[in-house]
């Protein structure tokens, strides 16, 4: 069975190679080939899953060593895979949601002349993401890590003729690179500390290193996770990333890639467990992002950007849970999976709405769509109920567990974390209801698009609605399945460990409180957007609203702090290089030139002056000779 | 006496240069094919060198050696020989030249109607003959194990390079024909003077080396092998001052060639003004002689002085990394941008050389090879683009991917390799250099890491400004890459990916040489704080 | 007679020739003064030859004579050509040796 792991990664990579190098003759059928490759890896993943289920809990780790990658003296990096319960969970999510979104894209991208290339990029993403979660060492993980970054860059900028898309793509890549510096330094620290960066050698021995080193490694891993998972302070790229086609937003920027940071933290759990300071920072980052994303999500009128704010916020939940240590790891991953279902479903629904509305993204120009797009409405609605934590849907189970884990932290911290997360839950209910109401309810506020075409909303084709239905099904049922007999907890426990803190409140009390704040949030949104008509042009709003619309001024800060100073710095350096460094060189050359100009004047061309210098020279020579002899 | 394979590898392109130069003016195409043929012959011979090289443990350090007396009065010998590093560099050179010839196929054709009456005017023949001549000199520099012989080839390659930079450039530009020619001759003279000045200092050091060895050994020698052996056996032990001065003399010449900040300003001029293949020749092949010589001559012959100079050299390397990248971000001219990016990369190479760990030396050598190929890919595609539009200014482009998707795609891959994306060769080498720097001095490693972000910035800014967005006026009919151009770029890209995924064949060749260099400088790799393997063994 | 006297004579002749070269303007006269210096040197060589009792100096003197003869041939030809083109034989007339 082990040999299937390599195939799992290879299938989508092969798809990418064929589609990208195949040229135009593959235009007609290429997308089906891409879909087939994604499906092949899903089938392989399912086969491996059942193989794992057949084994006992402790033996559910498969290894496949392909070849030695970079052997230089003591530095040994291998291309080798490790499949355990944690990576299996990710593999199923990635290939499952990935295949669905491939199918959706067949319909969504139907009229795009570069559809073949789109599928090539999607396949490339799948391959890189699988590499990321299957690698058995950090350096190979890094390859997948940057590979998904590349795929994300290519897909965000897929409509490259739009300058905004190209800028967003570059921004995403560069911000991610800042995170990658963190990952690089973490790997370097591991190498100098443990002489290796393989999971099998670093993680079991983590507590043998000093706490300072481990804190360093932990913080650097967190920096990497912040970049990839759009956590504060490296969150700024995610909103702009919505420039990409919607299936991309669903797959990469909601369900899978952005959760890679959570994977990294959970995978490196042993390091964080031994470095409490680093854990505290993870929790703080998670808590701050949770609120940050939610606030931004409340203010955006662009449906995809509102959902992007929500994604940040939800990953904040996961990050916070991961920072709690063994109390939270399992629930971070559980929320990650359920979030994968409902958020992908929400994005696909948003894509379906845009598809029917001439690619309009401003929710103020939607309204009353529920009768025109019944399937989209129902699937979107189910995912909506799941994300706000409607009782007994998937979000209810996973989010409550995280909130409960937060309280379990104990003491004042526990109350603060629990309170923050409950506030986040209220905000979630508020902004999601807002989206729901502005899009599907109320009166029609449709506007003609830039070319003057009136929108004619219609339901999307089957290739698009089927994935939405499947995902909605998942959003509804996943919670039940995971909760039944605590199956998910038992499945992951051997890898991540599990502890029960002592919570001051009971499970039931948390559920009631969460449901209560959810109702509050829904009610708040209904009062503002359901009871009275929504203006087509956004009102000026309060100071906070305006700031939130500008992503809480993060871009303005980045612009002033980095872009502006950076551009002054480079311009200054270009000037200095020209004037100073080159100036010294040219100055030396010029002074030699000047000197030889002077010397040249001695050569005046008059025979008698030459004769004088000859005689003078001879006289000097004679004099010197005589003097030397005298001495 | 066995067949002198190394000499043959160098003579082939030299012969090719003579033959190509002799082709009559009207038979330009013949000259091109002849030059291409000879470069392939060289490649075949270089392949033979690689195959004949024995990587088994315990094999000789220098292999395929040749030794003939040349100037017996001064102990100068014609001594050639290669270790793993030399083999790899010769292979890089031999691989790149056919692509450069292919890429520059039409670069030196006389413009219609501008040919002077003189029927002996043969720019095309000259262009290819000069490239082959440079190849011959570079191969000899990589193979020479006699310091004086090395010096001769090190300097001799300047002459054909001078004519390549000064004589051939992109057609027209913002300053017009005449301004262009003035800029070109400025760049060529600057190149020549910089390198001659460095070479002059080195000549003094070469003579000093002879005097110093003559002091202690039975007779003075230039032979690297003899000097290394005498050092190992303790017969030769320079006084600290002598060694430092000699080191500085050699290092200065190599630092100019490399080029290291602040001796770098000739490179952007030279690369900017010359045609793309010549720019690649400068940065990917000729400059590598500088970093290669640091590794072989500076570290090998003057280990103590190298250690003494390490803080300063590493500081300069760091400055080069950051400074080169920042300046690359600020450039308006895409060839100068690539030149500054190269300066940043040379900083990494020097850092790897002077970190003095196995990973550093292996990484630096891999870096030389990967950087050569990556820059070649990026620069040649940039050259194709420039030839289409007739401008080097980034601002004159936009939306190229719409009209020429293959060109944009290859440009992006070249760029991604330049920013060391994992999965391409440069990543492996850059990471090895970072590992080595970090394991010696953590702070240096961390500062060098920031180069990663800056590299992403300058590459992606370049890509965004030229390839994306709305199609710029005048570019609507931009033709995509032709078959010849794809044939040039595609193999380079395949090589980049191959070296990124499976660099083992290369590291196997390099490993013994790296070990020898480490024993020359008498250093060992820093050990991890908690060696996991030891812990396990104890249990 | 004391051979040193010949050396004094040679020195005197050389000084005469040198001052002639430096002070006179007419190319022909300058030329003759150069010949004078050459012959002064010849005289010194022959004297040394006599003083040291070997033939080296005399051989050198023959060399100098040959060179002087050749020089006269070339030099006079140049002077004549210059005179023809410029109608003057003054060495200060123009900076002939500079482009």
Q: Which of residues 62-121 of A touch B (CB under 8 A)?
A: 67-75, 79
Q: How confident is the model at residue B532 (pLDDT cuts 50, 70, 90)?
A: low
Q: How confident is the model at residue A58 (pLDDT cuts 50, 70, 90)?
A: confident
Give the separation between CA A430 and CA A438, rounded to whole angstroms.
Answer: 12
Q: Which of residues 133-172 of B touch A (CB under 8 A)?
A: none
- Going by C-alpha positions, the residue among B56, B60, B51, B66 that lies closest to residue B83 is B60
Res B537: pLDDT: 46
Give the separation between CA A254 and CA A155, rounded to whole angstroms.
Answer: 14
- Going by C-alpha positions, the residue among A418, A414, A300 that lies closest to residue A364 is A300
CB contact under 8 A, A69 and B504: yes
Q: How confident is the model at residue A218 (pLDDT cuts 50, 70, 90)?
A: very high
CB A219 within 8 A of CB A285: no
Mean pLDDT on B15-34: 89
Residues forming a β-bridge with B80:
B66, B144
> Which residue from C21, C25, C95 is facing A611, i.e. has the nearest CB?
C21
Q: Is A3 left (phi over 0), alpha (psi -120 to 50) or beta?
A: alpha
Mean pLDDT on A210-216: 90
Give the separation between CA B175 and CA B390, rounded to whole angstroms.
Answer: 12
Give the 3-state secondary structure of A397-430. Answer: HHHHHHHHHHHHCCHHHHHHHHHHHHHHHHHHHH
Res C96: pLDDT: 63
Q: How far is CA A117 from CA A9, A121, A146, B203, B287, in A?
A: 19, 6, 20, 57, 38
Tell me which residue has tokens 């194709």. Answer: B384
> Which residue from B190, B427, B529 is facing A193, i.e. has the nearest CB?
B529
Q: Enter the tokens of residue A238.
A: 């995610």
> pLDDT tens, A586-601?
888 889 889 998 888 8
Does C95 reach chain A within 8 Å, measured CB to CB? yes
What DSSP element (H or E) covers B66?
strand B63-71
Res B533: pLDDT: 53
B169-173, B291-295, B348-352, B446-450: least confident range: B169-173
Q: Kindly tell me whether chain B and chain C come into contact, counting contact as 3+ Cβ pairs under 8 Å.
A: no
Burial profile A82-107: b = 16 or more Cβ within 10 angstroms, e = fewer:
bbbbbbbbbbbbbbbbbbbbbbbbbb
Q: How far is CA B93 from CA B63, B86, B131, B213, in A?
A: 19, 11, 11, 33
Chains touching A by CB (3 or more pairs below 8 Å): B, C
**What percentage of chain B reaches a pLDDT higher than 70?**
95
Structure letter (DSSP) for residue B65 = E
Q: Enter the tokens of residue C44.
A: 């010194």
Res B120: pLDDT: 58
- Going by C-alpha positions, the residue among A89, A115, A141 that lies closest to residue A26 is A115
Q: Enter the tokens of residue A353.
A: 């709405």
Nearest 5°: phi and psi at A12?
A: -65, -30
- Going by C-alpha positions, the residue among B492, B34, B44 that lies closest to residue B284 is B492
Does B188 reach chain A within 8 Å, measured CB to CB? no
Res B520: pLDDT: 82
Residue among A23, A27, A66, A70 with most chain B CBs within 10 A, to mutate: A70
Q: How confident is the model at residue A333 (pLDDT cuts 50, 70, 90)?
A: very high
Structure letter (DSSP) for residue B295 = I
pLDDT > 90? residue B62: no
CB-CB neighbours of B37 under 10 Å: 15
Going from N- to C-terminal start, the domains of chain B cover: 5-109+122-526
Is the model more confident about C96 or about A190?
A190
Mean pLDDT on A237-266: 91
Mean pLDDT on A232-238: 88
Res B522: pLDDT: 79
Nearest 5°: phi and psi at A357?
A: -115, 35
Tell me which residue has tokens 């911290």. Answer: A413
Nearest 5°: phi and psi at B222?
A: -110, 0
As a whole number, the mean pLDDT across chain B is 88
Chains touching C by CB (3 or more pairs below 8 Å): A
Mean pLDDT on B515-539: 69
Query: Cα angle at A623 between A618 and A627, to 5 degrees?
Result: 150
pLDDT > 60? residue B173: no
pLDDT > 80? residue B170: no
Q: How far is CA A485 from CA A59, A147, A370, A489, in A?
A: 21, 37, 37, 9
B179-188, B497-506, C50-59, C72-81: least confident range: B179-188
> pLDDT tens, A508-563?
898 999 999 999 999 999 988 888 887 877 777 787 888 878 777 788 888 888 88
Give the separation between CA A187 and CA B439, rounded to whole angstroms.
Answer: 11
Give the separation between CA A568 and CA A199, rounded to whole angstroms.
Answer: 43
Q: Enter the tokens of residue A585.
A: 């060189």
CB-CB neighbours of B379 under 10 Å: 31
Res A292: pLDDT: 92
What is the count of residue pairs from A and B with beta carbons less than 8 Å apart? 176
Give the separation between CA B20 and CA B124, rounded to whole angstroms.
Answer: 9
> Which residue from A146, A157, A195 is facing B421, i.e. has the nearest CB?
A146
DSSP character string of B298-350: IHHH-HHHHHHHHHHHHHHHHHHHHHHHHHHHT-SBHHHHHHHHHHHHHHHHH
Give the separation between CA B280 and CA B101, rounded to whole angstroms.
Answer: 11
CB A420 within 8 A of CB A316: no
As a whole number, the mean pLDDT across chain A is 89
Res A504: pLDDT: 82
Q: Enter the tokens of residue B78.
A: 């014609």
B88-97, B428-437, C76-85: least confident range: C76-85
Q: Enter the tokens of residue A546.
A: 């305006």
Mean pLDDT on B17-29: 88
Mean pLDDT on C53-78: 92
- Going by C-alpha positions, the residue among B519, B73, B40, B500 that lies closest to residue A142 is B500
Q: Which residues of A touch B533 (CB under 8 A)?
A: 195-196, 201
Q: How far is CA B105 from CA A441, B110, B331, B417, in A?
A: 66, 12, 28, 25
CA torsion sign for A573, A578, A582, A583 is negative
CA torsion sign for B257, B260, B266, B272 is positive
**What percentage of chain A reaches a pLDDT higher than 90?**
48
CB A161 within 8 A of CB A124: no
Q: How confident is the model at residue B9 (pLDDT cuts 50, 70, 90)?
A: very high
> pLDDT tens, A369-396?
888 888 999 999 999 999 998 888 888 8
CA distance B232 to chain A (A): 23
Nearest residue on chain C to A608, alpha-carbon basis: C22
Res C99: pLDDT: 56
CB A188 within 8 A of CB B435: yes
> pLDDT tens, A12-33?
999 999 998 887 888 888 889 9
Cis peptide before A359 (omega within 30 of 0): no
Does B533 reach chain A within 8 Å, measured CB to CB? yes
Residues forming a β-bridge with A311:
none
Tell me which residue has tokens 């499976």. Answer: B502
Q: Enter the tokens of residue A37.
A: 């490759």
Res B527: pLDDT: 81
Res B60: pLDDT: 83
> pLDDT tens, B235-264?
888 888 889 999 999 999 999 998 898 888
> Which residue from B358, B435, B471 is facing A188, i.e. has the nearest CB?
B435
Q: Which of residues 13-52 of C touch A (CB under 8 A)?
A: 18, 21-22, 25, 30
CA torsion sign for A225, A230, A231, A232 is positive
CB-CB neighbours of B65 under 10 Å: 17
Give the separation between CA B21 and CA B128, rounded to whole angstroms.
Answer: 8
CB contact under 8 A, B327 and A178: no
Q: Which residues of A touch C96 (CB under 8 A)?
A: 605, 607
pLDDT > 80? residue A234: yes
Domains and CATH numbers, chain C: 4-86 (1.10.287.3510)
Res B538: pLDDT: 45
- Going by C-alpha positions, the residue among B353, B363, B242 that lies closest to residue B304 is B242
Does A207 reach chain B within 8 Å, measured CB to CB? no
Q: Which residues of A touch B422 (CB under 8 A)?
A: 142-143, 145-147
Mean pLDDT on A170-186: 92
> pLDDT tens, A280-330?
999 999 999 999 999 999 888 899 999 999 999 999 999 999 999 888 899
CB C72 within 8 A of CB C35: yes
Residues forming a β-bridge with B66:
B80
A176-180, A544-548, A580-584, B68-72: least confident range: A544-548
- Going by C-alpha positions, the residue among A534, A556, A545 that lies closest to residue A295 is A545
Nearest 5°: phi and psi at A499?
A: -130, 155
**What percentage of chain B reaches a pLDDT higher than 90?**
53
Mean pLDDT on C6-21: 93
Q: Enter the tokens of residue B128.
A: 């290819």
Q: What distance lies between CA B360 and its chain's CA centroid? A: 17
Give the separation between CA A381 and CA A441, rounded to whole angstroms.
Answer: 12
CB contact under 8 A, B323 and A167: no
> Which residue from A607, A612, A615 is facing C97, i.e. has the nearest CB?
A607
Residues forming a β-bridge with A75:
A72
Give the separation between CA B254 and CA B198, rounded to whole angstroms.
Answer: 8
Give the separation between CA B122 and CA B111, rounded to whole angstroms.
Answer: 12
pLDDT > 50? residue B539: no
- Going by C-alpha positions, the residue among A58, A63, A113 that lies closest to residue A83 is A63
Q: How far is CA C20 from CA A376, A519, B452, C77, in A?
A: 116, 122, 78, 21
Residues forming a β-bridge with B69:
B77
- Going by C-alpha positions, the residue among A118, A251, A556, A174 that lies closest to residue B464 is A174
């Amino acid at each position: 069975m082990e040999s299937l792991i390599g195939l799992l990664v290879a299938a989508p990579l092969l798809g990418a190679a064929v589609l990208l190098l195949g040229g135009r003759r593959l235009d007609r059928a290429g997308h089906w080939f891409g879909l087939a490759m994604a499906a092949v890896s899903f089938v392989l993943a399912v086969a491996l899953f059942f193989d794992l289920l057949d084994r006992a809990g402790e033996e559910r780790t498969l290894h496949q060593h392909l070849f030695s990658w970079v052997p230089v003296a003591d530095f040994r990096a291998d291309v080798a895979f490790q499949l355990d319960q944690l990576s299996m969970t990710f593999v199923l999510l990635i290939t499952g949601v990935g295949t669905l979104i491939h199918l959706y894209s067949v319909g969504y991208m139907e009229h795009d002349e570069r559809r073949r290339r789109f599928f090539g990029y999607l396949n490339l993403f799948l391959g890189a993401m699988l590499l990321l979660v299957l690698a058995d060492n950090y350096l190979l993980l890094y390859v997948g890590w940057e590979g998904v970054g590349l795929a994300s860059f290519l897909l965000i900028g897929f409509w490259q003729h739009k300058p905004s898309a190209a800028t967003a793509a570059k921004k995403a890549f560069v911000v991610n690179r800042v995170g990658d510096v963190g990952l690089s330094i973490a790997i370097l620290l591991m190498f100098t500390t443990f002489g290796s960066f393989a999971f099998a050698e670093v993680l079991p021995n983590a507590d043998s290193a000093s706490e300072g080193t481990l804190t360093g490694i932990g913080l650097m891993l967190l920096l990497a996770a912040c970049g990839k998972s759009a956590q504060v302070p490296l969150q700024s790229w995610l909103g702009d990333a919505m420039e990409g086609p919607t299936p991309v937003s669903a797959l990469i920027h909601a369900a899978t890639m952005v959760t890679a940071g959570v994977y990294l933290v959970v995978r490196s759990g042993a390091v964080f467990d031994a470095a409490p300071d680093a854990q505290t920072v993870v929790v703080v980052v998670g808590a701050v992002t949770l609120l940050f994303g939610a606030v931004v999500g409340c203010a955006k009128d662009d449906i995809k950007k509102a959902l992007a704010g929500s994604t940040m916020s939800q990953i904040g939940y996961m990050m916070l849970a991961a920072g709690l240590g063994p109390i939270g790891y399992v629930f971070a991953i559980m929320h990650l999976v359920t979030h994968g279902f409902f958020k992908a479903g929400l994005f696909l629904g948003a894509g379906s709405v845009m598809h029917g509305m001439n690619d309009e993204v401003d929710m103020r120009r939607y309204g009353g769509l529920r009768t025109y797009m019944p399937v989209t409405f129902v699937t979107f609605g189910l995912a909506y109920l799941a994300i706000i934590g409607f009782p007994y849907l998937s979000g209810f189970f996973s989010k409550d567990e995280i909130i409960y884990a937060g309280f379990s932290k104990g003491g004042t911290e526990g109350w603060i974390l629990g309170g923050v997360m409950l506030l986040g839950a209220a905000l979630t209910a508020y902004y999601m209801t807002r989206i729901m109401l502005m899009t599907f309810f109320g009166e029609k506020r449709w506007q003609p698009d830039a070319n003057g075409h009136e929108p004619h909303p219609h339901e999307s084709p089957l290739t698009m609605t089927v994935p939405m239905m499947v995902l909605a099904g998942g959003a509804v049922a996943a919670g039940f399945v995971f909760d039944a007999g605590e199956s998910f907890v038992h499945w992951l426990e051997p890898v991540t460990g599990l502890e029960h803190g002592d919570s001051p409140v009971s499970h039931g009390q948390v559920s009631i409180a969460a449901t209560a704040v959810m109702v509050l949030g829904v009610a708040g949104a209904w009062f503002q957007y359901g009871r009275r008509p929504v203006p087509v042009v956004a009102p000026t709003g309060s100071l906070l609203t305006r700031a939130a619309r500008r992503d809480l001024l993060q871009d303005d800060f980045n612009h002033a702090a980095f872009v502006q100073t950076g551009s002054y710095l480079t311009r200054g350096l270009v000037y200095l290089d020209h004037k100073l460094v080159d100036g010294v060189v040219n100055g030396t050359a010029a002074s030699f030139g000047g000197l030889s100009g002077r010397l040249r004047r001695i050569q005046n061309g008059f025979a008698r002056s030459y004769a004088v210098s000859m005689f003078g020279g001879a006289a000097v020579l004679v004099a010197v000779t005589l003097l030397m002899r005298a001495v | 006496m066995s067949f002198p394979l190394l000499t043959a590898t160098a003579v082939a392109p030299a012969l090719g240069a003579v033959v190509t130069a002799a082709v009559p003016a009207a038979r330009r195409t013949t000259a091109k094919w002849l030059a291409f043929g000879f470069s392939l012959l060289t490649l075949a011979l270089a392949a033979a060198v690689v195959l004949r090289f024995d990587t088994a443990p315990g094999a000789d350090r220098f292999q395929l050696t040749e030794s003939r007396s040349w100037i017996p009065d001064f102990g100068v010998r014609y001594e050639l020989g290669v270790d793993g590093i030399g083999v790899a560099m010769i292979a890089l050179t031999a691989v790149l030249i056919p692509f450069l010839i292919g890429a520059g196929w039409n670069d030196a054709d006389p413009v219609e109607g501008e040919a002077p009456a003189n029927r002996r005017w043969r720019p095309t023949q000259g262009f290819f003959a000069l490239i082959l001549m440079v190849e011959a000199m570079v191969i000899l520099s990589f193979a020479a194990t006699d310091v004086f012989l090395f010096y001769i080839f090190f300097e001799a390659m300047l002459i054909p390079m001078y004519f390549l930079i000064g004589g051939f450039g992109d057609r027209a530009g913002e300053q017009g024909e005449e301004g262009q020619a003035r800029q070109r001759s400025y760049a060529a003279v600057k190149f020549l003077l910089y390198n001659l000045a460095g070479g002059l200092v080195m000549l003094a050091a070469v003579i000093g080396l002879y005097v110093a060895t003559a002091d202690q050994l039975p007779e003075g020698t230039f032979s690297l092998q003899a000097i290394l052996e005498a050092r190992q056996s303790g017969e030769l032990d320079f006084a600290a001052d002598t060694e430092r001065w000699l080191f500085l003399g050699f290092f200065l010449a190599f630092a100019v060639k490399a080029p290291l900040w602040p001796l770098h300003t000739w490179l952007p001029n030279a690369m900017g003004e010359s045609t793309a293949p010549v720019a690649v020749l400068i940065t990917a092949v000729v400059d590598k002689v500088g970093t290669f010589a640091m590794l072989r001559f500076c570290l090998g012959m003057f280990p103590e002085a190298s250690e003494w100079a390490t803080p300063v050299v590493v500081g300069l390397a760091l400055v080069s990394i950051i400074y080169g990248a920042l300046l690359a971000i600020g450039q308006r001219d895409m060839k100068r941008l690539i030149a500054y990016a190269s300066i940043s990369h040379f900083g990494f190479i020097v850092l790897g050389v002077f970190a003095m760990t196995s990973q550093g030396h292996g990484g630096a050598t891999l870096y030389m090879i990967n950087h050569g190929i990556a820059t070649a890919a990026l620069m040649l595609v940039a050259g194709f683009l420039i030839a289409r539009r007739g401008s080097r200014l980034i601002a004159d482009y936009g939306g190229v991917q719409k009209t020429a998707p293959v060109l944009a795609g290859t440009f992006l891959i070249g760029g991604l390799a330049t920013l060391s994306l994992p999965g391409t060769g440069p990543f492996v080498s850059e990471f090895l250099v970072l590992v080595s720097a970090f394991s010696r001095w953590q702070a240096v490693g961390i500062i060098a890491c920031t180069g990663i972000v800056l590299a992403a910035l300058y590459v992606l800014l370049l890509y965004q400004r030229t390839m994306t967005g709305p199609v710029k006026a005048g570019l609507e009919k931009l033709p995509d890459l032709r078959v010849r151009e794809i044939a040039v770029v595609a193999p380079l890209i395949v090589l980049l990916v191959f070296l990124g995924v499976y660099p083992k064949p290369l590291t196997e060749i390099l490993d013994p040489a790296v070990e020898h260099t480490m024993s020359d400088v008498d250093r060992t790799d820093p050990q991890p704080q908690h060696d996991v393997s030891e812990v396990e063994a104890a249990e | 007679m004391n051979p040193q006297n010949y050396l004094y004579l040679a020195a005197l002749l050389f000084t005469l020739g040198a001052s002639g070269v430096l002070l006179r303007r007419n190319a022909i006269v300058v030329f003759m003064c150069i010949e004078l210096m050459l012959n002064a040197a010849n005289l010194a060589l022959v004297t040394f030859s006599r003083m040291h009792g070997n033939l080296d100096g005399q051989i050198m003197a023959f060399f100098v004579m040959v060179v002087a003869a050749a020089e006269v041939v070339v030099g006079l030809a140049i002077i004549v050509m210059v005179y023809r083109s410029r109608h003057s034989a003054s060495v200060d007339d123009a900076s002939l040796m500079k482009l």
